[in-house]
Structure 1
Amino acid sequence: MKATNDLIVVGKMDGHLDEIMSGLEERDWNITHVESLQKIQRILHSSNDFLVGIIYLDASCLETLSSIEGVLNELSTRWIAVIPETLIKDASSCRMISRLFSGYHTISTDLEKLHQSLSHQHSFASLVLSHHDDDRLEECQDCHMVGASPSMKALYRTIHKVSTVDAPVFIRGESGTGKELTARAIHEESLRANAPFNAINCGALPANLIQSELFGHEKGAFTGASQRKIGIIEGAEGGTLFLDEIGDLPLDMQVNLLRFLENRTIQRVGGLKEITVDVRVLAATHVNLEEAVEKGTFREDLFHRLNVLQIKVPPLRERGDDIEILARHFFNKFASEKSIQVRGFTKESLAIMRLYEWPGNIRELINRIRRAMVMCEHSLIRPTDLGLERRQSASRYAESLEEARDIAERSVVMAALARNSFNIQHTARELGISRVTLYRLMDKHGVNRGNEAAGDKRDSRGGDSASPKVLHLSTVSKGR
């Protein structure tokens, strides 16, 4: 595994911290900045790639630090404290720092010493992962899953864990995120990989055919049943059964499915014999089953039977750093369909794709790219070929002069960030402003690493630590 000098820095920005971050940048650290201790869990929940981190402490932070001690202990990140010299004289502060941190430096510390401490901790942490994550990523690539963002790496790790057991898995995710691909990856990593993988979309079959499709039927069981039919469950013997859109399964069929999950036996329609079937059940849906249970449209006992293990497939808008990788992957995959002169994407197209919301997720990305490859009349695919330029410009209308200025200001900042791959230092230089001013503008317009284009529409999330050098995460946007 190739180690990168990714560093998370936690603390309220001031002159001291700015000087520390600038000095570490000059020593090739890629820094992600989080302003408050309360946001550590939110950021690291979506990115487990920070091997080392700094927490910039003062006396007012100690109470907060105590409240999140459990969170810090659960994380694999190795923390170094940067503290004022006065805290060293306080016994309780010293005990807490010794419990939670791998080392400490005072605010007036020599930057070279801090750099050496971080490098030392980073080297030790890298040893743990050097033969660990890469193997699992390669295995998931064999399952045709594309992406290296933090949310996808977390998904790969979860797939690896659940594939080693035989318990049911419930896969959550929006439409078009790749839930069936996730199910196939679980199957192909499991001991059942050489047995069948049978998938059925519970929402695509007429209600009167679902029972026959799932359980099979005997000859003469109903009009048109001219011969015995083996159902999808029985046909998956020894392998995996994937029930897609399980939320659309009618209530009467939910009873039959629950009986199978409890007893591992089925009865064909028109048959009397109990047939034992050895299959692992995976289920997926894009709807909220907890709400369906409350409304009475989904059985609570069946939900608990299916929801033993759970996987959340991230939407494309949470995978900003994967979008260019995915775009090029699908461009190469459908190369035979493109016009001969089309050779790739313009820089503007890649930037706009990263900023777009992608309500249709991977499915929408594939459709837009395939259409653009056929219809493009230039050597490079432009935003208009993807049908995104008009949507971006028309997504919001100003109702006042002040709002128009805000929209223009945000547009300029976002365009500059996209052109510079969200590198704060380069973006600030291009705009002719300081980094602190750029941080302020990003705060003002709700721009952050994991959710660049979302503004005040979604919760802020962390992103891949491998792209920009300094990314400001001080603002948590309002939820939907």
Structure 2
Amino acid sequence: MPGRILIVEDEREMRAMLEKGLTRRGFTPRALASADEALALSAREDFDTVLTDLQMPGLNGLELCERIALNRPDIPVVVVTAFGSLETAVGAMRAGAYDFITKPVDLDALVFVLERAVQHRALREEVRRLRHVLGQEAGTRELLGKSPVMAQAYALIERVAEVDTTVLITGESGTGKEVTARTLHTQSRRRDKPFVAINCAAMPEPLLESELFGHVKGAFTGAQSARTGLFVQADGGTLFLDEVGEIPVGLQPKLLRALQERKVRPLGSNEEVDFDVRLVAATNRDLELAVEENRFREDLYYRLNVINIELPPLRSRGNDVLLLSQRFIEQYASRNGKRVVGLSPAAAQRLLLYGWPGNVRELQNCIERAVALTTFEQLTVEDLPERIRNYSSPRLIPEVADVSEMVTLEEVERRYIHRVLEAVGGSRTLAARILGVDRKTLYRKLERREEAPPKA
């Protein structure tokens, strides 16, 4: 990650060598001979990192570190010295240095340290910027994110919120489907009416039918009093059917009829009751595949999927991870009465690197745990769960030294298809979308290799 580097070195040959070497590596260096000049220039201009010699006439490297830490704490300082003792390193760190490197300088090692320092500063600035953004947006909406994929979702939500059209929200578990449903409700003309939610996977068919449609007294064993169903409870407002793909097949025709007729018949009753609701449904299942396998009625699927809002996984949302983290830090710090104000750059880097299979819900649990455990004002890497601290991005194609171990393009494609299918839980619709092909093309690729598609 190239950046602007302020070099402070009193030896002319060393200064020229550093300036030339870093320029070749893509950095933009500015070289000065004294710490006094560097202090004056850093007050007027912005640099990503300061690289300073330790032993210099006048103001030395340690004193320069201390001054920059006081006046420009946002700029990391890397100290170069010929005296590579532990005491010198400790002194540099105490003076505010970001890192320490010894002479003779190995250019590759120096570039590695400077890239880390530049990234450290960039992450610190991004965390600060996102905290500002969060402060501006506090209380304006439950959904949070600045990434392009979320901007598309926001635009669609705003377009459909004011109409009564049925919406199907899709996406992996933990991506915020219920939050999206509530946002649709609060931005609609029905906002002053009830928002009623039910998880369709949480109860057996008879109980789910009673919950949705209601029942009269004596309709079944244990029905000691009449109960109003959720369709009627939500009258005038929004009914949210979460995990709608789990509705039993036997109940699906009754749900379809209720949606078509805008009437429900409570269990045990001969009379129908009118209702007026805006229906929002959500699922993390591949409903198209469920239709093909006769596990979900096609006519009900099209009745639900009038408008589809697909929520992206957290791993595709870039710096939204940091924006959401800051929201959760403030939430749990306030709840626990702790002074925790943000993330350290190193912790932010680990959060950005991690794959988040559990999406926003997993991030929320991670931050809640970290806030509870930390003893600092910023969350550090040590506060994060072990799986996040030790996570490394998997290589799609491992490095091989032996030519005989290399594989064909066809084999690379086969492995990647299986990697994608595993990552999306076997959903061929989602896998095809990620791969940039249609479902039929994906089937053909699998069949050509005489492999059955993984079961969804």
Q: Which bracket does the TM-score occupy, shorter chain normalised?
A: 0.5 to 0.7
Cα displacement string for residues 87-111 of structure 1 (whole angstroms, at most 9, x for unaligned residues): xxxxxxxxxxxxxxxxxxxxxxxxx
Give the C-alpha shift of residue 348 in structure 1: 1.1
State how far apart, in whole Å, the 1-side matches of 2:324 and 2:393 are. Answer: 26
Aligned to 1:292: 290
State how far apart, in whole Å, the 1-side matches of 2:231 and 2:138 are. Answer: 26
Aligned to 1:367: 365
State how far apart, in whole Å, the 1-side matches of 2:252 and 2:139 are. Answer: 35
Aligned to 1:250: 248
1:57-206 aligned at under 5 Å gives the runs 142-206=140-204
Cα displacement string for residues 14-57 of structure 1 (whole angstroms, at most 9, x for unaligned residues): xxxxxxxxxxxxxxxxxxxxxxxxxxxxxxxxxxxxxxxxxxxx
* Larger relative contact order (Cα-Cα within 8 Å, sequence gap ≥ 6): 1
SS in 2 for 1:331: helix
Q: What TM-score does the superposition give when structure 1 sets the normalisation length?
A: 0.53
Contact conserved, 1:266 with 1:276, CA < 8 A, in 2? yes
State how far apart, in whole Å, the 1-side matches of 2:325 and 2:138 are. Answer: 19
Contact conserved, 1:195 with 1:239, CA < 8 A, in 2? yes
Give the C-alpha shift of residue 164 in structure 1: 2.2
State how far apart, in whole Å, the 2-side matches of 1:231 and 1:201 are. Answer: 14
State how far apart, in whole Å, the 1-side matches of 2:258 and 2:435 are. Answer: 45
In structure 2, the gaps of 5 or more residues are 1-135, 403-415, 422-433, 443-456
Q: Which amino acid is the alignment partner of residue 235 of structure 2?
A: E
1:337-376 aligned at under 5 Å gives the runs 337=335, 340=338, 342-376=340-374
Q: How many pairs does the alignment contain?
A: 277
Contact conserved, 2:325 with 2:363, CA < 8 A, in 1? yes
Contact conserved, 1:247 with 1:285, CA < 8 A, in 2? yes
State how far apart, in whole Å, the 2-side matches of 1:272 and 1:314 are. Answer: 45
Q: Which amino acid is the alignment partner of residue 302 of structure 1?
A: L
State how far apart, in whole Å, the 1-side matches of 2:396 and 2:304 are. Answer: 45
State how far apart, in whole Å, the 2-side matches of 1:340 and 1:334 are. Answer: 8
State how far apart, in whole Å, the 1-side matches of 2:225 and 2:277 are. Answer: 24
Aligned to 2:228: 230
Give the C-alpha shift of residue 377 in structure 1: 3.8
1:20-35 aligned at under 5 Å gives the runs none
Contact conserved, 2:216 with 2:223, CA < 8 A, in 1? yes
1:367-386 aligned at under 5 Å gives the runs 367-386=365-384
Q: CA RMSD in A?
A: 3.1
State how far apart, in whole Å, the 2-side matches of 1:205 and 1:346 are. Answer: 43
Contact conserved, 1:171 with 1:179, CA < 8 A, in 2? yes
State how far apart, in whole Å, the 2-side matches of 1:351 and 1:180 are. Answer: 29
Contact conserved, 1:458 with 1:478, CA < 8 A, in 2? no
Please point out which of 264, 271, 282 is paired with 1:273.
271
Aligned to 2:391: 392
Q: What TM-score does the superposition give when structure 2 sets the normalisation length?
A: 0.56
Give the C-alpha shift of residue 400 in structure 1: 6.2
Bigger radius of gyration, 1 or 2?
Answer: 2
State how far apart, in whole Å, the 2-side matches of 1:259 and 1:139 are. Answer: 42
In structure 2, relative to structure 1, the CA distance for the partners of 1:218 and 1:377 (3 Å cut) is same
In structure 2, relative to structure 1, the CA distance for the partners of 1:168 and 1:401 (3 Å cut) is closer
Q: Which amino acid is the alignment partner of residue 312 of structure 2?
A: P
1:467-478 aligned at under 5 Å gives the runs none
State how far apart, in whole Å, the 1-side matches of 2:255 and 2:400 are. Answer: 59
Cα displacement string for residues 49-72 of structure 1 (whole angstroms, at most 9, x for unaligned residues): xxxxxxxxxxxxxxxxxxxxxxxx
1:319-468 aligned at under 5 Å gives the runs 319-337=317-335, 340=338, 342-387=340-385, 388-393=387-392, 402=401
Contact conserved, 1:172 with 1:313, CA < 8 A, in 2? yes
SS in 2 for 1:142: coil
Give the C-alpha shift of residue 142 in structure 1: 2.9
SS in 2 for 1:200: strand
In structure 2, relative to structure 1, the CA distance for the partners of 1:250 and 1:397 (3 Å cut) is closer
SS in 1 for 2:288: helix
Asked if 1:217 corresponds to 2:218, the answer is no
Q: Which amino acid is the alignment partner of residue 224 of structure 2?
A: S
Q: Which amino acid is the alignment partner of residue 275 of structure 1?
A: V
In structure 2, relative to structure 1, the CA distance for the partners of 1:399 and 1:286 (3 Å cut) is closer
Contact conserved, 2:354 with 2:388, CA < 8 A, in 1? no
State how far apart, in whole Å, the 2-side matches of 1:390 and 1:478 are. Answer: 32
Contact conserved, 2:350 with 2:389, CA < 8 A, in 1? no
Q: Which amino acid is the alignment partner of residue 234 of structure 1?
A: V
Q: Which amino acid is the alignment partner of residue 292 of structure 2?
A: E
Q: Which amino acid is the alignment partner of residue 392 of structure 1?
A: Y
State how far apart, in whole Å, the 2-side matches of 1:195 and 1:304 are. Answer: 26
In structure 2, relative to structure 1, the CA distance for the partners of 1:341 and 1:231 (3 Å cut) is closer
In structure 2, relative to structure 1, the CA distance for the partners of 1:167 and 1:342 (3 Å cut) is closer
Contact conserved, 1:140 with 1:156, CA < 8 A, in 2? no
Aligned to 2:316: 318
In structure 2, relative to structure 1, the CA distance for the partners of 1:478 and 1:159 (3 Å cut) is closer
Give the C-alpha shift of residue 207 in structure 1: 2.2
Contact conserved, 2:354 with 2:392, CA < 8 A, in 1? no
Give the C-alpha shift of residue 306 in structure 1: 0.5
